[in-house]
Amino acid sequence: MQTLRASKCGLSTAQLPPSILDVIDSLNKAGYEAYIVGGGVRDMMLGLNPKDFDAVTNATPAQVKEVFGRRCRIIGRRFELAHVYSGRELIEVATFRAPPKKAVTSASGMILRDNNWGTIEQDFARRDFSINTLYYQPRKGIVLDFCHAVDDIKTRTLRFLGEPAQRFEEDPVRMLRALRFAAKLNFQIDQSILDVFSVEMTQLLRDVSPHRLYDESQKLFTMGHLTQVLPMLIEFGVWKQLFAEIPPNLTAFIERAARNTDQRIQIGKTINPAFFYAVLLWKPFLERCDFYLNKGVVPAEARAQAGLDVLKRQATRTIIPRFAETFIREVWEMQTRLLNPKPQQIEALAGHARFRAGFDFLLLREKSGDSSTEGMGMWWESYQEMTTDQKEIAIRQYNRQRSKSRRKATEVVDEPKMTEIEPLVNVPEPRSRRGRKERVRSDESTPRFMEKASGDSSQVGADHPILRRKRVKRDLSQVVFGPTQ
């Protein structure tokens, strides 16, 4: 172990939020050791802005609860932690871990219980990556480095503590963490990890709870480097373990959505991770819709049932929460409404709670080359930038265009086949003007409805069906006319 000065590592208390200092000071005041550990220290040394900070202490979760009282909540069964609230901030406080006296593992080697308290020397050895083993004490201004983690940060190397295969077996989610750190920090994965990172090893992810895998997938979507990590998921065989029915290839739609997500995060805009799930599952959703439509199910029912089927299938890998499922299905349903809106409903549709998400989804489809949008993505984009008067004009123009398109479609369907009409009498057309006038006079003098008896009576014989009809005389004396009693 080496003790480094925090200032030489580029660390200072000015970089820390008041919430983490409050937790560290409260634990120290109560007589316990407390350090900042993990990604917060690593990111500050890399010059990044950490999203959150984690603390570690020699106090047990129950003792942490005694220090902070109602501000503390103990969570976890497999790995017991204390969540401490400082203002609006949440700080995760863990207790020093020791190797278990009796290993409680699954058949594949995954640790099922890890609540054995120990010392700081034992705790660092239980951590996964070397870059996450730096212990920073802000009030003393020191950094404890047990395994030359500072050197790995300088060389940008992602290295495991201990045997990589055993580390993956203890917690298969470390495979996702390795890819996430490599993509986010632009680190090289150590060769010892690559040697055991095989398709067979990724099968261990099947033993992980679908709820936990969903949480890890959210971290992948929201870290701001989605375009870098998606190809890595396919390359290392992790894609098939996370997504049930999504083919392991990046379509233009998925790539554009990934770039858009990263751009929004970089400029500080909020994102809904469920939106990217809607993008990933769009193709399976369309295929399932076609399945029901071919069975004769009405479109609205087909879409509803297809959405349920696709999300239920995905739940075998990552269980999407109910509110996120509702969001995804509403975004899919908005596609139909935005593609062919009724003119009188356009204004109300633009104020719908899911309009923005549905519009973003539609525009991404259109920009990625989906011709089925018929330019409506650009139309809605222009509509949002118009004034009230311009919107009314745009709606009238859209209504006229919509009516014109529907008339054309009707004419194409109902247009009869043109057949050549033969002339009744083959009389040559007069060449002179006088002859044509006389021809017109003779036609006008001929009755419009000439009886054809002269030509047709000879053709109607006694055996004609109309002449063979028997007429029955009715006795009108038995018929009562007028109202009856």
- Domain containing residue 93: CATH number: 3.30.460.10
Q: What is the mean pLDDT of residues 278-298?
A: 94
321 and 226 in a common domain: yes
Final residue before a domain boundary, out of 368, 384, 406: 406
Residue among 129, 168, 155 at smallest CA distance from 38: 129
- Provide the 3-class DSSP secondary structure of residue 372: helix
Number of domains in the chain: 2
- What is the C-alpha end-to-end distance of the chain, expressed in Å? 116
Which residue range is the domain that position 229 belongs to? 209-406
Catalytic residue among 43, 114, 123, 128: 128
Q: Which of 183, 207, 231 is the last residue of a domain?
A: 207
Answer with the residue of higher pLDDT: 461 or 379.
379
* Within-domain flag for 413: no
Q: Are residues 30 and 66 in the same domain?
A: yes
Which residue shows structure tokens 């909540």? 73
Per-residue model confidence (pLDDT) at position 425: 45
> Is residue 233 very low, low, confident or very high in pLDDT (cuts 50, 70, 90)?
very high
Question: Same domain, yes or no, for 217 and 173?
Answer: no
pLDDT tens digits, residue range 370-392?
999 989 999 999 999 999 899 99
| Ranges of H-type helices in 223-281 | 226-235, 239-242, 252-266, 273-280
Q: Tell me, yes or no, if 54 is annotated catalytic.
A: yes
Alpha-carbon torsion, ordered 197, 199, 202, 204, to 10 deg: -110
Q: Which is the catalytic residue, given 25, 52, 360, 370? A: 52
Kindly state whether residue 462 falls inside one of the protein's structural domains: no
Q: pLDDT digits over 403-419, tens only?
A: 887 777 666 555 544 44
Q: Check pLDDT > 80 for residue 466.
A: no
Edge-to-edge strands of the sheet including 34-37? 2-5, 142-145, 134-137, 34-37, 54-57, 89-95, 81-86, 72-75
pLDDT digits (tens, 9 = 90+) for 246-265: 888 899 999 999 999 999 99
Within 186-225, where are the H helices?
191-196, 199-202, 210-222
The verdict on residue 80 lying in a domain is yes
469 located within any domain: no
Give CA–CA dist 420/418, Å, rounded.
Answer: 7
The neighbouring-strand residues paired with 369 are none
- Let me know: does 34 contact 92? Beta carbons within 8 Å: no
Residue 358 and residue 337: Cα distance in Å, rounded? Answer: 9
Instruction: Please indicate, yes or no, if residue 156 is contained in any of the structural domains.
Output: yes
Q: Which of 207, 225, 258 is the last residue of a domain?
A: 207
Residue position matching structure tokens 């020699």: 58
